[in-house]
Structure 1
């Protein structure tokens, strides 16, 4: 089945903040910000905004086949879908390679996204985000409450815990200790362990594929090399720092009144389901649902199960149950 048209697969670029600069939370103004993005379907004033994960990008058709396509939660034949590469990344939107080292917040990313929607003529959005994209969805709900109709947050807490901050701190320490690529590979290995679960690795990474090397060791080596080939260590430092800095208080979360579907993952070790559920309880109009999977945090990508149906029904305004 064709997920999207050939034209939708083409990455586009907009230059924003030409006449009035973006003032970052760190106090630095930015002008002429380049933003790379994909759109799917015919342009409309109401859209569905997809927010990608830490090392993801705007090409939703490549990384979320369970969600994008006719009859699926993100249906280009029925709606206008937008996904942009985040500020600070390395997939076409301005990041450290252009801007140098600077502090960027998730709220800064939301402001850039708002400017892109204005550029595209979008006035109202439904939001779906997973992992870092879920944290960013909360930033959107706080920063742009007038634009958001409803939001689906998958595998993400309302704020970064000491556990999550600690994992990112260790990853950044690896990059500082071994700049030039080796540190980024180790950072990815640390992250991959938090993205899976002991049960998942026991099922998928037993034995040896290379003589004398545990399967999980060769798996982690492969994941590190794979990320190094496509990602920038400076962006990794910038984006993980933005995630760690997202710490909304209870009063801010209580101000979010639009419907929010919050999805926890039963075996998630990075953002445990109990933590995600507790965060949902801080929102006035949230529904919590849990994806049952042994595959940990990455289940939203590799073991979606009922997730597309639940999210699709929610985005359409149908009752999802508890």
Structure 2
């Protein structure tokens, strides 16, 4: 574990507000963040959301690859009074990851980072998150992460074991398989072959095929398109998803973050050192991270439990078809 030193001249965290407003902290102003690649970085800006009353214990939510810190926008089934992430009970924190493009320091400000010679890592992201928690006065956390956020939760368990009380990991393995790395490689190659947005559109289309399942597309995208008469619905659906992502996401962030996920390869021995309670949830129809893979990695943790969400909608079921997942999460987080 790498110790984090914060600058003493940081302003105190802002008071809680009723409105959901993104906040920003500037960290590592004097002592730099030393990345795993050996590069020191100063003045790391972190954009984040908080919900609830500040406390020394928080629920830390870790977002997915193209997600943001605005949990209220993308996980409404989970956030709210009486729900697993309850601002009337808990102090909830979610930060945009280092290397992303939603307000936290990204590739444009780290020109030397994210390349093959100076790659970004999930552990780097965890260290930035740790610094934010210290800035907010948080001493302990329960971690909740799905998809990339679930993999990042594993990084937190290994990088910051003194901070984490428990972890809920949804639809995520501890490390990428050749299949997952292959999908990301194809997506990155598309971006590099057609920079300027067109490649990112294709990368998103590749990803969307792995985020759903054949059954899901048969249920939702069969027949012809209402967007372009005569075209298959699946064709215009994928094109639409590509356009949407290209309008809001940075291709350099996509390269850096998918590379960080692919390089995160903790050993079985490292996973066996995790002692805190972990609930891992697989998704029955997930073709990106098959449930057997999610279960197998969780089984390496000495104090883990595995549950499986039954859904035809593949990896994205945690967003679009959560079923009993909120109830499982609430029981685990408050138990």
For 1:229, what is the secondary structure of its paired residue? helix
TM-score by length of 2: 0.92
Gaps of 5+ in 1: 318-322
2:167 is aligned with 1:138:
no
Shift in Å, 1:107: 0.2
Structure 1 CA distance for aligned equivalents of residues 181 and 57 of structure 2? 35
2:223 is aligned with 1:212:
no
Deviations 1:157-199 (A, max 9, x none): 0111100000000000000000000000000000000000000
For 1:53, what is the secondary structure of its paired residue? coil
Q: 2:244 aligns with which of 226, 240, 264?
A: 226
2:119 is aligned with 1:91:
no
Structure 2 CA distance for aligned equivalents of residues 134 and 279 of structure 1? 12
Q: Name 1:18's counterpart in structure 2.
A: 29
Shift in Å, 1:18: 1.2
Q: Name 1:28's counterpart in structure 2.
A: 39
TM-score by length of 1: 0.96
Q: 1:163 aligns with which of 167, 175, 179?
A: 179
2:144 is aligned with 1:128:
yes
Deviations 1:266-317 (A, max 9, x none): 0000000010011111110100000000000000000000000001110112
The answer to whether the 8 A contact 1:195-1:269 is kept is yes
Structure 1 CA distance for aligned equivalents of residues 67 and 26 of structure 2? 21
Structure 2 CA distance for aligned equivalents of residues 6 and 222 of structure 1? 35
Q: Name 1:260's counterpart in structure 2.
A: 278
The answer to whether the 8 A contact 1:8-1:38 is kept is no
Shift in Å, 1:8: 4.2
Q: Give the aligned length.
A: 313
Gaps of 5+ in 2: 1-15, 114-118
Q: Name 1:320's counterpart in structure 2.
A: none
Shift in Å, 1:101: 4.3
Q: 1:49 aligns with which of 42, 45, 60?
A: 60
Q: Name 1:198's counterpart in structure 2.
A: 214
Structure 1 CA distance for aligned equivalents of residues 298 and 110 of structure 2? 35
Structure 2 CA distance for aligned equivalents of residues 211 and 231 of structure 1? 29
Q: Name 1:80's counterpart in structure 2.
A: 91
Structure 1 CA distance for aligned equivalents of residues 73 and 299 of structure 2? 33
Q: Which shows bigger deviation, 195-204 or 205-214? A: 205-214
Structure 2 CA distance for aligned equivalents of residues 154 and 173 of structure 1? 28
Q: Name 2:266's counterpart in structure 1.
A: 248
Q: Which runs of 4+ in 1 moved over 4 A?
A: none
For 1:244, what is the secondary structure of its paired residue? helix
With over 3 angstroms needed to count, the CA separation of the structure-2 counterparts of 1:151 and 1:70, relative to structure 1, is: same
